Structure 1
Amino acid sequence: MEKKNNTYLYLVCLVAALGGFLFGFDTAVISGTVSLVKSDFNLSAVSEGWFVSCALLGCIIGVSCSGKLSDKYGRKIVLILSAVLFLASALGCMLSGSFTGLIVFRLIGGLGIGVASMVSPLYISEFSPSRFRGMMVSLYQLALTIGIVLAYFSNAWLAGHTANTFGNAELTKIFSAEVWRAMLGLGALPAAIFLVSLFLVPESPRWLLLRGQEQKATAILIKIDGADAAHKEVAAFNAIKGKGNTEEGSIKELFTPIYRRALWIGLLLPFLSQVCGINAVIYYGPRILEQAGFTLNNALGGQVTIGLVNVVFTFVAIFTIDKWGRKPLLFVGIGGAVISLIIIGVLFALNITSGPWILIFILAFIACFAFSFGPVCWVVVGEIFPNAMRGKAMALATLSLWIGNFLVGQLTPIMLEGLGSSWTFWLFALCCSPALWLTYKLIPETKGRSLENIEAYWKDTYTAKN
């Protein structure tokens, strides 16, 4: 009988995590292009916000469709769709002939991000054994942060080589005169790698179980975690399914008293993770650092530092989330993020913009987010929903995340102009604070629990309460 293979587990989860890499790269690469595109197309503040946030609108549409598609056709085929959308967007943005064309291809990229942002962590969560699930899903966030930092590196490198000329006029336009084209087009390479790699991974075993393909699912589970664990998981799945659950759960079940708490967690935690201001720093980091006295090139360099800190502190979550649990990381990280945001606002209010202080506390905020909100949010929303409706439920949770993301992307330049940097960061601190209450009051500790055990927990809790 085939034995478990940890290497196989890691490789499959890394392939799925490439969706996070493309998510991070595509959302962060925009930061280095904003001022360049604004100059080339003479954009107003509203048009600038639309250029940044139009992809987020695509994300919302993509997420809205991804839950039903992934439940109907499988997680793998929908991930392949996201890779195709990423590839088309990168090439289209690089070659677009107008601002309207650029917006259209940014929207297509947004569709890909929206689909991948939901299905990638869903796939990893369903694929991973319970004792490794926190770490494996955190790989998605790690890939996301690596995508962000590589976008910063590539932006900074391309911005520093705009004096170069090429024999071909089109290449000179892309890599020199309008270098933002090269910045956006570079995403085609990882998108192609993601697309090819997806043909080598299996379908989610829990989706196969939902479709009655128990033999295929068992074979995959044995390869992941050994025969004993595989047969226990299949038995637990069948036990829950035998209690009257249909093959494909209705989203209406989430609004019943049994799962209402899970629904609140799934809607609030992702939303709060965005309105804390993380993407204001990612999208508008160079502009914020310029307001703090950095030049554009130094601001891009500061943005690279932000990205590196994001990567490094994500490893804290990877190595501790399955040991310490989800709630301790959330408490420490969110508390530190709120304090850092308040201090940044005070520094701007007192005009203490010379020296490294603004950058230091921005880095502190990023570090706190990187080991708490960032990875733990994806882990929790991938765990708390019942098997039969997990795809649709995670689509709702991810939709909530992208609505928050869209609002931050659209409103940040208006807030920076109208309210100033200090009040902008204080508002982010205010929006971040309720997550502490949410963690204390609603979120259960899910460390080490199987997905079927967590599903049974909601039913048992409701039965005991009533």
Structure 2
Amino acid sequence: MTSKTQKTNKSYLLFIALAAAFGGFLFGYDTAVISGTIGFVKDKFALDTVMEGWFVSSALVGCIAGVAFAGELSDRFGRKKSLIVSGLLFSISAIGCAVCGSHTELIIYRLVGGLGVGVASMLSPLYISEVSPANIRGRMVALYQFAITLGILCAYFANALLLGDGGSGASFTEGSLLHKVFVSEVWRSMFGSEAIPALLFFGAMFLVPESPRWYASKNKNDEAGAVLVKIHGEDVAKKELETIKKAIAKEGDSSWALLLQPGIKVAVLVGVALALLSQFTGINAIIYYGPRIMEEAGLKLSDALGGQVVIGTVNVVATIYAILKIDKFGRKNLMKGGITGMFLSLIAVGVLFLLDLTQGYLLIVFILTFITSFAVGYGPVIWVLLSEIYPTKVRGRAMSVATLSVWVGTAIIGQVVPWMLDTLTPAGTFFIFAACCIPVPFILKLIPETKGVSLEDIESAWVKNEKKS
């Protein structure tokens, strides 16, 4: 293989990975864009606290539903087609929210957007994992987490930009749809701004190939081989295809029952546990309450958005470091280092609250240390591991179970954190988050290191470990 061919293959792989990772950008953007709309929507539709909560959480309900059917959808019809559906759902939601005529319509379109988030949150990292070579697979999948953090940050900036333009009175005819969207009801343009990346994602997914491993699982070996040749070159592709075919032959029929087979059952349980703990260690609580805590600690910010941008920027920069190092240090080492930093930061924040020493920059330092630790470890590694550790024939179904656990954990945290802060005090809340970090290193002992190992060899390692135990 010539150096020119090698370069072309890497460029093609990077395009595929970036296109799929764009689903993560939309995941982050959709999750964060609502932060700038809540007050406006509440006033526009005169929402009480119950309906305000339903408006905020409706997308989460859609996420859970999207994840629930995404695994079956992708295993039956393919990763590519399912991601195209996700892009379409994102687009419909963004445009629908911008032009909706009632609160009910707004909720419906938020539910539709949630479905798109659910599908993308599961399939984007899975797809990237299945097309990437073992030696750089971690970096490629970690692009997905980077895209999430970038989407969150872009949503914050877009909200601020649109709010500024709306306040200046843009030159649209009063009473026109454009005036309504961009000036008098600027929250509509905040939601509508997502249509631009959503349509780009929708179009880009028509340009990428189907997963070669999905093709092979459907006995479409010629199609699988053609994709592998384009990515790896002919010599490597032949060996890769034979390895994939042998692994699939050992799996038997594709069904939910396969998730309970020896070895695979352990992988599923490990995935669920790590997914739940990713939320129970407090990342979303810090993201949501971080700006307010930082302001109360004495940092002079023009508004809460300033705190979000600080946290978002740290998140993006730290994730870039993880992308560069994940295939060097390995998944387990990176996560162990990250969870250690998270644990110590949470303990420190709890102690500061306990001793009433929150007025100053020390609290801010530990909050940002927590964000950094999450972004270099748990944040990217969880998606890499979940996309790697399951057999090809049920990878979609198994990952849907694990991803569903992420969203269930998110829902639980969203419901209980306000109660925890009021009842257990902030100190008690952060100590509980710290306690949830403790099981992670022990769970990681059950997982084989996947750095530089083919997906088929990872699958074999689970079965071998089960036979030994």
- With normalisation by structure 2, the TM-score equals 0.92
- Are 1:224 and 2:228 matched, yes or no? no
- Are 1:208 and 2:212 matched, yes or no? no
Paired amino acid for 1:7: S
Picking from 408, 414, 438, the partner of 1:433 is 438
| Preserved contact between residue 32 and residue 286 of structure 1 (Cα < 8 Å) | no
- Are 1:257 and 2:232 matched, yes or no? no
Provide the rounded CA distance (Å) in 2 between the counterparts of 1:423 and 1:47: 30
| CA shift digits 1:413-438 (9 cap, x unpaired) | 44445554333333322333322321
Report matched runs for 1:313-352 at 5 Å: 313-352=318-357
Q: CA deviation at 1:224?
A: 1.0
Q: CA deviation at 1:172?
A: 4.0
- Are 1:196 and 2:200 matched, yes or no? no
2:460 maps to which residue? 456
2:126 maps to which residue? 122
Change (3 A) 1:157 1:417: farther
- Are 1:304 and 2:304 matched, yes or no? no
Change (3 A) 1:361 1:98: farther
Paired amino acid for 1:302: G
1:401 maps to which residue? 406
Picking from 364, 377, 381, the partner of 1:372 is 377
1:139 maps to which residue? 143
| Preserved contact between residue 30 and residue 283 of structure 1 (Cα < 8 Å) | no
| Preserved contact between residue 53 and residue 410 of structure 1 (Cα < 8 Å) | no
Change (3 A) 1:163 1:239: closer
- Are 1:99 and 2:103 matched, yes or no? yes
Q: CA deviation at 1:406?
A: 1.6
Change (3 A) 1:279 1:7: same
Picking from 66, 70, 80, the partner of 1:66 is 70
Provide the rounded CA distance (Å) in 2 between the counterparts of 1:46 and 1:288: 25
Picking from 107, 110, 115, the partner of 1:111 is 115
1:54 maps to which residue? 58
Provide the rounded CA distance (Å) in 1 between the counterparts of 2:404 and 2:248: 27
- With normalisation by structure 1, the TM-score equals 0.93
| Preserved contact between residue 31 and residue 283 of structure 1 (Cα < 8 Å) | no
Provide the rounded CA distance (Å) in 2 between the counterparts of 1:183 and 1:412: 27
| CA shift digits 1:343-371 (9 cap, x unpaired) | 22333344434333333222111111111
Paired amino acid for 2:199: A
Provide the rounded CA distance (Å) in 1 between the counterparts of 2:399 and 2:220: 23
| Preserved contact between residue 335 and residue 436 of structure 1 (Cα < 8 Å) | no
| CA shift digits 1:130-179 (9 cap, x unpaired) | 11110000011111111011111112333344422133334444334433
| CA shift digits 1:258-302 (9 cap, x unpaired) | 222211111111111122222223344444445545677432112
2:156 maps to which residue? 152
SS of structure 2 residue aligned to 1:125:
helix
| Preserved contact between residue 21 and residue 147 of structure 1 (Cα < 8 Å) | yes
Change (3 A) 1:84 1:242: closer
2:168 maps to which residue? 164
| Preserved contact between residue 52 and residue 283 of structure 1 (Cα < 8 Å) | no
Provide the rounded CA distance (Å) in 2 between the counterparts of 1:307 and 1:165: 29
Q: CA deviation at 1:464?
A: 3.2
Paired amino acid for 1:304: V
Query: How many residues in Structure 1 have an aligned counterpart in Structure 2?
Result: 462
Provide the rounded CA distance (Å) in 2 between the counterparts of 1:119 and 1:222: 23
Provide the rounded CA distance (Å) in 2 between the counterparts of 1:222 and 1:101: 47
SS of structure 1 residue aligned to 2:135:
coil
Provide the rounded CA distance (Å) in 1 between the counterparts of 2:194 and 2:290: 20
Change (3 A) 1:51 1:424: farther
My pick for the range that moved more, 122-131 or 252-261, is 252-261
Paired amino acid for 2:466: Y
SS of structure 2 residue aligned to 1:242:
helix
Q: CA deviation at 1:257?
A: 2.8
Paired amino acid for 1:386: P
Q: CA deviation at 1:43?
A: 4.5
- Are 1:186 and 2:186 matched, yes or no? no
Provide the rounded CA distance (Å) in 1 between the counterparts of 2:132 and 2:110: 32
| CA shift digits 1:118-137 (9 cap, x unpaired) | 11111100000111110000
SS of structure 2 residue aligned to 1:190:
helix
Provide the rounded CA distance (Å) in 2 between the counterparts of 1:318 and 1:114: 23
1:363 maps to which residue? 368
My pick for the range that moved more, 332-341 or 68-77, is 332-341
Change (3 A) 1:143 1:453: same
| Preserved contact between residue 66 and residue 115 of structure 2 (Cα < 8 Å) | yes
Provide the rounded CA distance (Å) in 2 between the counterparts of 1:43 and 1:432: 38
Q: Mind listing any 5+ residue stretches in structure 1 that lack a counterpart?
A: none
Provide the rounded CA distance (Å) in 2 between the counterparts of 1:132 and 1:268: 26
| Preserved contact between residue 131 and residue 322 of structure 1 (Cα < 8 Å) | yes
My pick for the range that moved more, 352-361 or 287-296, is 287-296
Provide the rounded CA distance (Å) in 2 between the counterparts of 1:351 and 1:101: 46
Provide the rounded CA distance (Å) in 1 between the counterparts of 2:293 and 2:412: 18
Using the aligned pairs only, state the percent identity. 52
| CA shift digits 1:381-428 (9 cap, x unpaired) | 111111111111111111111111122233334444555433333332
Provide the rounded CA distance (Å) in 1 between the counterparts of 2:387 and 2:325: 18
Paired amino acid for 2:230: K
Provide the rounded CA distance (Å) in 1 between the counterparts of 2:112 and 2:311: 27
Q: CA deviation at 1:210?
A: 0.8
2:87 maps to which residue? 83
| CA shift digits 1:57-103 (9 cap, x unpaired) | 11110001001110111101100000011011111222233333222
SS of structure 2 residue aligned to 1:29:
helix
SS of structure 2 residue aligned to 1:442:
coil
